[in-house]
Amino acid sequence: MPAENAPPTMTKEEEAAFLRRRRGRNIALIVVLIGLVVLFYMITMAKLTSSGG
């Protein structure tokens, strides 16, 4: 018998949906981070090229 003040719970389906969304956010974050690394590298190369370095 759950207590009256027990925390709200998720069903199995809700939990699966929640984890799916969190995985999607994590993948997006790693893609953005890798994209930034590549972008900063390319910016550095472009700056060096355009300044004659």
Partner 1 sequence: MSDLIERGATAPLAVSADWSELRDWIALLKPRVMTLVVFTGAVGLAVAPGHIHPLLGAVAILCIALGAGAAGCINMWYDRDIDAVMRRTIRRPIPAGRIAPEAALAFGVFLSGFSVVLMGLVTNWVAGAWLAGSILYYVFIYTMWLKRRTPQNIVIGGAAGAFPPIIGWVAVTGGVDVLPLILFAIVFFWTPPHFWSLSLWAHDDYQRAGVPMLPVVSGARETRRQIMLYTVLLAPLGLLPTLLGLAGWVYGAFALSLGAGFLFHAWRVLREPQDAAGVSLAGDTAARAAFRFSLLHLAGLFTALTLDHWLRAAGMIH
Residues that bind partner 1 (CB under 8 A): 6-12, 14-16, 18-19, 21-22, 24-25, 28, 39, 42-43, 46-47, 49-50
Closest distance between partner 1 and the C-beta of residue 47, in Å?
A: 7
Rounded Cα gap, residues 5 and 13, in angstroms: 23
CB of 49 to partner 1, least distance (A): 7
Locate 14 and state its tokens: 């809700």
CB of 34: closest distance to partner 1 in angstroms? 15
- Please give the full DSSP string across 37-48, using - where no structure is assigned: HHHHHHHHHHHH
